[in-house]
Structure 1
Amino acid sequence: MAQRSNSSERKYPCEQCPLMKRDAFRDMEAKEVAFMSKFKRGELTVDKGAIVLAEGTRNPHLFTVLIGWGFRYKLLPDGRRQIVNFVMPGDLVGLQGSLMGEMQHSVEALSGMTLCVFERGELMSLYRDHPDLAYDVTWLTAREESMLDENLLSVGRRTAVERLAYLLAFLVKRGDAVGLFNGASQVLPITQQHIADTLGLSLVHTNKTVRRLVDRKLLRWRDRGCQVLDIEGLKELSRWDGGTETIRPFI
């Protein structure tokens, strides 16, 4: 059974945050790091399959993903699931619940995860005293909207093969930027059911689409996930240019 453990102890103090070592993230000023250290309440560790946040619930905390993968999703009353996006190190989760009272989607751990925990009630002090960090929160929400725009385009206008090619290229590019592969082979910890629930395809159709990309030697399916063999080939097939490289903030 999936477990979650919340601790006020800090294995990763803000002053030694591993995300600050990544070229993908902007540098923080000393005063910002000092504020974040006070803002942070501890760390949450969850096992693969744990529900980090549940749709319809209220949560007193915000989280920044420090280690691992997760995904956001919504459920229909009959249990059908739509995965709306994937979360990776540096992503902020729980802001929606902070501003709207309750969560409008759920977040599940795709692998073991470590998250930094922040007190939702202290969010206004960030806006009041640290406008640069407040801008960062706005930037993160705008970036999420941009990713959802691209995902909607994919589901609405790309063919099944193009959708899958885009999704895999998109996940590899994001994961590589935040160190989720650490120089190892680019294996995504997803099942074909995850793909089906993201792309709006049946599991049978997903399996056939996967086989077409395997036949083109663009990917290999393994027991622990999907190994991408040719990201440039996936980008070309999906007609996606890879987006613009931007140094990004995190909270």
Structure 2
Amino acid sequence: MAARTKCANCPLRKMETFRSLNERELNFVSGFKTGELIVEAGSTIVLEDNNSPHLYTVLDGWAFRHKSLPDGRRQVLNFALPGDLVGLQLAVMNEMQHTVTALTDTTLCVFQRDKIWSVFKDYPSLSFSMTWIAAREEQMIDGHLVSLGRRSASERLAYLILHLHDRAEAVGYAGNLAFRAPFTQAHLSDALGITPVHMSRTVKKLQDKNLIAWKKDSIQILDRTALEALASYERNVKTLRPLI
């Protein structure tokens, strides 16, 4: 598991959405990283109740976080894109309460979990970054929880499409109001808490209203203003994201 991408030359660090590191921080992160891992679509990255020794940052690709009930019913909790940290829960609580699975072939930067405490001890700005990442995850969960509890199916889907588009756009995965959709309608029905049949009907409703076009592996937003109004969606204030 050799490091293929040097942290100083990381393509993510060239993106405007991520804040830069000073030389001391960059040297630490370079030593913190132990290598890269490439997983195929459908592979498990982190397993629920697993005690993996590693943390990961998504370098390229899509993944999703999910949790299942004993009878097999699944809730998709969120999606992971480049720059997202996977396994922070494991580092703090010593076990994962959900599973993370690759949606596409995915490249991960690998970090040794037992070194994370040196971040909080010696690098206060990086420890703040990890706290920021955790707070951002909480913020995203807040939005999805409101959807599950109060939005209609059409409103939920509109919100999720806007959310995924904006995250994809920030890392170069979207342009001209279109983005690649490596997930299926079944993934989104599990995220939105509706049946696959209801999901199919909801997609058709948005398409019939000329709000979106979903063709195979891509989603095009046709009327962003109307979609935002339907979802009661507010764009996040653009702040520089930390990148570990």
> For residue 57 of structure 2, what is the amino acid of its counterpart?
T
Identity percentage over the alignment?
Answer: 46
Indicate conservation of the 8 Å contact 1:94/1:103, yes or no.
Answer: yes
Partner AA of 1:247 in structure 2: L
- Segments of structure 2 that go 5 or more residues without pairing to the other structure are none
- Structure 1: gaps of 5 or more residues: 1-6
Of residues 171, 192, 207, the one that matches 2:200 is 207
**2:5 maps to which residue?**
12
- Tell whether 2:155 aligns with 1:137: no
Give the aligned partner of residue 150 of structure 1: 143
Cα distance in 1 between the residues matched to 2:177 and 2:200: 26
Tell me which residue corresponds to 2:185: 192
- SS of residue in 2 equivalent to 1:209: helix
The 8 Å contact of residues 179 and 218 in structure 2, kept in 1 or not, is answered as no
Q: Separation in 2 of the partners of 1:80 and 1:68?
A: 25
Q: Structure 1 residue 223: deviation in Å? A: 2.1
Q: Where does residue 109 of structure 1 map in the other structure?
A: 102
**Counterpart in the other structure of 2:86:** 93
Query: Which whole-Å CA distance do the structure 2 matches of 1:67 and 1:232 have between them?
Result: 30
2:165 aligned to which of 172, 184, 199:
172
Query: Which letter maps to 2:39?
Result: V
Among 208, 222, 227, which residue is 1:229 paired with? 222
Find out whether 1:72 has 2:65 as its counterpart: yes
CA distance in 1, matches of 2:236, 2:180: 21
More divergent stretch after superposition (101-110 vs 234-243): 234-243
Distance 1:47 1:230, change over 3 A: farther
User: 1:45 aligned to 2:45?
Assistant: no
Contact 1:52 1:108 in 2 (8 A): yes
- From 25, 28, 31, give the equivalent of 1:35: 28
TM-score normalised by L of structure 2: 0.96
1:186 alignment partner, SS class: strand
For residues 137 and 85 of structure 2, the distance between their equivalents in structure 1, rounded to whole angstroms, comes to 10
Q: Deviations over 1:151-202 (max 9, x none)?
A: 1001110111000000000000011011123679423222110110000000
For residue 62 of structure 1, report the CA deviation from its aligned partner: 0.4
Size of the aligned set, in residue pairs, is 244
Q: Whole-Å Cα distance in 2 between the matches of residues 173 and 221 of structure 1?
A: 16
Seen in structure 2, the aligned counterparts of structure 1 residues 230 and 188 have a Cα distance that, compared at 3 Å, is farther
1:48-67 to 2 correspondences below 5 Å: 48-67=41-60
Separation in structure 1 between the aligned mates of residue 207 and residue 175 of structure 2, nearest angstrom: 24
Given that 1:191 and 1:225 are in contact with CA atoms closer than 8 Å, whether structure 2 keeps it comes out as no
> 1:218 aligns to what?
211
Could you tell me which amino acid in structure 2 is paired with residue 237 of structure 1?
L
Q: Secondary structure at the match of 2:125?
A: helix
| Pairwise CA distance, 1:248 | 1.0
Seen in structure 2, the aligned counterparts of structure 1 residues 184 and 207 have a Cα distance that, compared at 3 Å, is: closer
Alpha-carbon distance in structure 2 between the residues aligned to 1:82 and 1:207 = 18
